[in-house]
Structures are given as structure tokens and as C-alpha cells.
Amino acid sequence: MSEIATIEIEGKKYEFPIIKGTENEVAIDIKALRGSSSGVITLDPGFKNTGSCESAITYLDGEQGILRYRGYSIEDLAEKGDFLETAYALIFGNLPNKEELEKFESDIKAQSHVDEDVKKILDGFPKSAHPMGVLASLTSALIAFNPDSEDVDSEDEMYNAIVTILGKFPILVSWALRKKQGLPLDYGDDSLGYVENIAKLLFKKPNSDYKQNDIIINALDKLLILHADHEQNCSTSTVRIVGSSHAGLFASISAGISALWGPLHGGANQAVLEMLEAIKEDGGDTKKYMAKAKDKQDPFRLMGFGHRVYKNFDPRAKIIKVAADEVLADLGVTDPVLDIAKGLEQEALSDDYFVKRKLYPNVDFYSGIIYRAMGIPTDMFTVMFALGRLPGWIAQWREMRLRKEPIGRPRQIYIGENHRSFVDIENR
Ligand code: SDX
């Protein structure tokens, strides 16, 4: 392939370098486009054709259904690894050796507490508050209680901010859940591993001894690994652009949480369960919902289906679908919505509308079924997504800062009024 791309504008030719990634992805480097005498920009709503950065963290191939973190396949990580070492690999580049992992875990445990005054902020929320709004607020509030984590420039300062939020975030997640449930706000248990501690934070009841359920631990570990990063998705791009103004890590993560909340993004896992429940209430009438999803006059979409990048099966959905069967069987739980989900999947995969648009189940289609089997409330599903995505957001923010990326500031094409004179109100 040529190293140069030529664009002709009004008879004049402009040349731009072509760059190729380590997986042979190709881009036209248009950094010099507007500065050239053409003065033109490109326009790409939703950035469907636009790369925002070069990154060494996650590679995904939407046609082949491939997803790798730092070159390790998610299939290997989900089967052989655990969430903490996956988080380390995403953030620092390689799977850790024993010493590195022990230090990482110890530094995180040293941060696994939250200032009691944060509870006063939580007290201000009604129980009905959506836990994603609570989590975004408490994450931003952490800045006030950890000022050293805000204005970080050195790798050491960044490392301290990173282990601080990895230590405190699971506590905020558990407080968001326990606030809704009217349960006492608990702290973790340093004798436990990272995911074991998360499970205890979520499920420990005040009136009985906590008994660890390894089925839940294994399923949770796998789900967190599968959600850990996904290159430049909406919430990660948000974290990067907020961080590019040199707002701190916690402020950038808080913005990412808000972006993830949307039902077109991470909020889809909650919307999937609400959709499946509605279909169940409707007597399992999947055909009615398929018709709604295809009706352009109807805003309804088949939640958990379709993806900006995957035009094949989302590899995470494949793994989670198998895990859903296993977890429900192991827990001795039967959930009628799982059968409805499988029926819907079968119908969609043989429906011309979906086949033509390459709409397959994505990561959100089956994950909520497992979270529900674990006893997690539906409006906490996206919080669980955020818990998994935290290391990815951190890794992307750190890469952006270490590569000294410029502040994100897209251009636009103005389509409003041309200049006009001010008119006094008496004459309007
Ligand atoms: C996540 O980006 C990431 O990596 C995200 C994520 C991550 O890990 O960070 O993978 C997590 O967000 C997964 C996606 C969760 N969202 C949902 O499940 C919501 C339902 N899906 C859609 O809203 C949609 O598929 C998106 C938002 C996921 C992708 O939308 P795109 O890429 O902008 O595609 P589009 O809206 O342009 O759709 C193309 C066509 C349209 O029809 P036509 O105009 O061509 O006739 O497909 C149709 C759409 O109407 N379509 C759907 C559909 N998704 C797309 N029709 C019915 N149901 C759907 N779910």
C-alpha cells in the first residue's frame, strides 16, 4: 500500500502520510490538513471513521470478533487469568510477575478505605437515586478527600492516584448498593483477594456470617475481566478527552461513569433485563418486540444487540452466554428470561433486518442474567460494568497523559445564521 494519500480539493492536490498499526490497521494522518493551504477539515459525526489516538492497550477486530488486552486474548484471560492481574496488564503493559502483583495488591489494600465524611454526601441521596448517579458523584467527591491524587504529572504520582481509586472504587460501588438496600455501609476485608473482597462488600449481610460462594466469585471475576477495556468506546473516549485538559484521574473517571450510564452504551445491560422482563410480562411475545425493533417509527431498539465495531458476534457475549448457563445451573437458579433471551437471539440471527445490518448480541445481552442470578438489582448492572471498566479507563488515561496527547478540541461545520444586526425588543 502507498505511504501517501492524496486528496484533491478544487483542482489542488494535498498529500498526507498513511500510517499502519501493528495489526495492519491503516489510517490517513490528517494532522496537517487544516493547516495546509486547503484550510478544510473532515466531518464524521459519531467518529465512525475517525481515529482519536494511537494506542497500545486494546486491539479489537469487529469483523473477526477478536478482542485482546495488551496482546493477550480475552479467552485466555477469562479462562486462565484473574481480574487484578488483567488490570495490571492493561495499566502497565504486561502481565505482572509474583512480586509485581503482590506489591500492586498491597498498595491497593493500603487504600481500601474511604473517609467517613463521604457517607454524609451519600446520606444526601434518596434511596431512589440511580446508583450510577451516586457513583459518579462519590467518585468526584473522592478528589476533595485525596487532593494528592488530583494534580499528578510524574509516573509515581500517577501510580499513587491509580492504586488509590482501585482501592476505594469497590467501596463506593458497595455503598451505592447498600444505600438502596438500607444496609449498613461496610468496609472491605484485607485478608481477601480483590474480587473476593468485592463480593463480600456487596453481599455481606449485617445479621449473619458471610459465606463466600466460589461460583459467584469465579463468575464475577470473569465478568469483570470481560468488561475491563474496549479501546475507544464512548465512555473511554470521554475519560481521555476530560483527562486531556489535565483534569485529574478521579474527575476523568467520574465523567466516564456518566457516559457509560447511557442506554446505548453501558446502560444497555439494565435495559436488556427490563426488555426481557417486559417480553415475559407480555406472554413471551418476542415477535412483537422484534417488529418494534424493526419499525422506524418506533424508537424501541433490541437492547443488547448491535455494536459500532463488532459486525460479527461480540466475543465477550459468546463467553458470557456459556457462563450464564453454567452459573444458573451451579446456583440452582432457573430464570425464564434466559430462555426468552436465547429465543430472541435465535429469531434475530435468522431475521433479514438484523442479518443485513450485522446486528449480533453484544456484551450487554447476557451479562444482566448472571448479575441477577447473583442477587444484584437491575439498576446496579451498569455500576458492575463500571467496576469492570475501571482498569481500562485508568490505562487509557495514563497512556494519554504519558504520551502527552494534546487537549481534545474537535472542530465543526457551522450551519447557523450568517451575521445579522441586533434588533431592540420593541421591534422584534
Ligand atoms: C456497549 O463501543 C463500545 O465498544 C461499547 C461497548 C464497550 O465495551 O464499551 O462494547 C459496550 O456499549 C455495547 C452496546 C450496548 N448498546 C446496546 O445494546 C443498545 C442497542 N444497540 C444500538 O443502539 C446500536 O447497535 C449501537 C448504539 C450499539 C451502535 O449503533 P451505531 O453503530 O451508531 O449503529 P446505527 O445506530 O447507525 O445502526 C445501524 C442500523 C440502523 O438501521 P438503518 O438506519 O441502517 O436502517 O442498525 C439499526 C439502526 O436502526 N440498529 C438497530 C439496533 N442497533 C442498530 N435496530 C434495532 N435494534 C438495535 N439494537
- For residue 82, report the distance from its CA to the centre of ligand 1, in Å: 30
Longest dimension (CA), the chain: 78
Tell the residue nearest (CA) to atom 13 of ligand 1: 265
Tell the residue nearest (CA) to atom 18 of ligand 1: 304
- For residue 294, report the distance from its CA to the centre of ligand 1, in Å: 13
- For residue 194, report the distance from its CA to the centre of ligand 1, in Å: 33
Return the HEC string of the chain.
CCCEEEEEECCEEEEEEEEECCCCCEEECCCCCCCCCCCCCCCCHHHCCCCCCCCCCEEEECCCCEEEECCEEHHHHHHHCCHHHHHHHHHHCCCCCHHHHHHHHHHHHCCCCCCCCHHHHHHCCCCCCCHHHHHHHHHHHHHHHCHHHCCCCCHHHHHHHHHHHHHHHHHHHHHHHHHHHCCCCCCCCCCCCHHHHHHHHHHCCCCCCCCCCHHHHHHHHHHHHHCCCCCCCHHHHHHHHHHCCCCCHHHHHHHHHHHHHCCCCCCHHHHHHHHHHHHHHCCCCHHHHHHHHHCCCCCCCCCCECCCCCCCCCHHHHHHHHHHHHHHHHHCCCCHHHHHHHHHHHHHHCCHHHHHCCCCECHHHHHHHHHHHCCCCHHHHHHHHHHHHHHHHHHHHHHHHHCCCCCCCCCCCCCCCCCCCCCCHHHC
- For residue 305, report the distance from its CA to the centre of ligand 1, in Å: 7
| Cα gap 94→69, rounded to integer Å | 9
Mean pLDDT by 10 residues, the chain (428 residues): 89 95 96 89 97 98 96 98 98 98 98 97 97 98 95 95 98 97 94 98 96 95 98 98 97 98 96 95 91 94 95 94 92 91 92 95 94 95 98 98 97 98 98
Tell the residue nearest (CA) to atom 32 of ligand 1: 308
Residues with CB under 6 A from ligand 1: 46, 230, 233, 264-266, 268, 293, 301-309, 357, 359, 362-364
* pLDDT value for 294: 95
* pLDDT value for 106: 98
Tell the residue nearest (CA) to atom 31 of ligand 1: 308
Tell the residue nearest (CA) to atom 43 of ligand 1: 357
| Cα gap 360→304, rounded to integer Å | 8
* pLDDT value for 1: 67
Closest atom of ligand 1 relative to the 304 alpha carbon: 18
- For residue 221, report the distance from its CA to the centre of ligand 1, in Å: 27
Closest atom of ligand 1 relative to the 46 alpha carbon: 33
- For residue 179, report the distance from its CA to the centre of ligand 1, in Å: 33
> Ligand 1 pocket: which of 132, 236, 276, 357 to mutate (most atoms <8 Å of CB)?
357
> Ligand 1 pocket: which of 49, 66, 233, 301 to mutate (most atoms <8 Å of CB)?
301
pTM of the model: 0.96
Q: Which residues are catalytic?
A: 307, 364
* pLDDT value for 273: 96
Cell 431475521, residue located: 351
